[in-house]
Amino acid sequence: MPRRIAFINYKGGVGKTSCIVNVAACLAETGYRVLLIDLDAQSNASIWLMRLERWNNLNVNGQGSVFSIFDPARDRLKDIIFKDVVIDRAGKSILPGLDLIPTSFNLIDIEHEYNPPDGIPAYARFQDQLSEIENNYDFVLYDCPPNVMRAAQCGLFNANEVYVPSNPDALSLIGFTLLTGKLLQFSERSASFRRSGMGKAAQIQGIVFNAIKPNVDIEVPKMRMQFRLNQYRNQKKVAPNAKIFGASIRDAVVVRRAVTLGLPVNCVAQTPGTEGVLSDYKNLTKQIVRHGEESAVA
């Protein structure tokens, strides 16, 4: 069974996509088989890893992206996987083991336009199709939008572990608080659709601080986040060993440049300025791998 992991925060722009893409890439580099699923209609992870030309083809006709398993239900998840999605300019695969199920902008229609047939919620349909493919992977990762609406629910229903990228500020703490409440509500509401073999309902495993600027003291926001996390641990609202991960990600220009290049940071030519943030992503990846082994989360 793969580890199924969602990255989400109720706050936008905190680094969910950049963290999950780079963790996925570090996992693949280590030799794990990784499936990254883009569940945010903004399509940032898809555009990043496919680059505009390949992604435009999807977006123009809407076929071959997540929403096409819903309406009209033309594709199954197993047919829309981009295998070894990271390629160089010559089209050569340069990061084998990292597959992507992409989205296009039409995924936004799942929230209002789509009427689930037979009353089966979108997340249950998604799970049914995922079960056909997930055992081909060691890790299934979900990049989610900053809410717990239908697209995000597809990831949260199937994930066992949730990681919360955050910036060291008050708004990220509010995002974390909102997320915890909404996730618990959703877990209760969706419980009757869970099947054996899915493992535990998604639980928050921890906070990852992202985009930390040099010489900025993050001790106070960190302390506030730790306080809230302790409260939630005692109230059993998050995993018993939920924590703030020691590996935080520094602010670095290469993270934004990597998007422009259509490459994860570990595939960008390394310079002295890029090594630091790459080692942050590698450390975070190691800590996530270890965290799962320690807590047998699934």
Nearer to Mg ion, 16 or 150 (CB): 16
Region binding ligand ATP by CB under 6 A among candidate stretches 174-182, 194-202, 229-237, 246-254: 246-254
Counting contacts by CB under 6 A, is residue 210 touching ligand ATP?
yes
Q: Determine which residue in the list 75, 134, 169, 251 makes contact with ligand ATP, applying CB under 6 A.
A: 251
Q: Determine which residue in the list 3, 4, 16, 125 makes contact with Mg ion, applying CB under 5 A.
A: 16
Q: Strand 161-166 vs strand 243-244: parallel, antiparallel, or unpaired?
A: unpaired
Structure tokens at 60: 């123009």
Counting contacts by CB under 6 A, is residue 44 touching ligand ATP?
yes
Counting contacts by CB under 6 A, is residue 107 touching ligand ATP?
no
Counting contacts by CB under 6 A, is residue 14 touching ligand ATP?
yes
Q: How many residues make contact with Mg ion (CB under 5 A)?
A: 3
Nearer to ligand ATP, 127 or 166 (CB): 166
Q: Determine which residue in the list 259, 265, 267, 278 makes contact with ligand ATP, applying CB under 6 A.
A: 259
Q: What does the binding site for ligand ATP look like in residue numbers (CB under 6 A)?
A: 12-18, 40, 42, 44, 146, 210-211, 249, 251-252, 255-256, 259
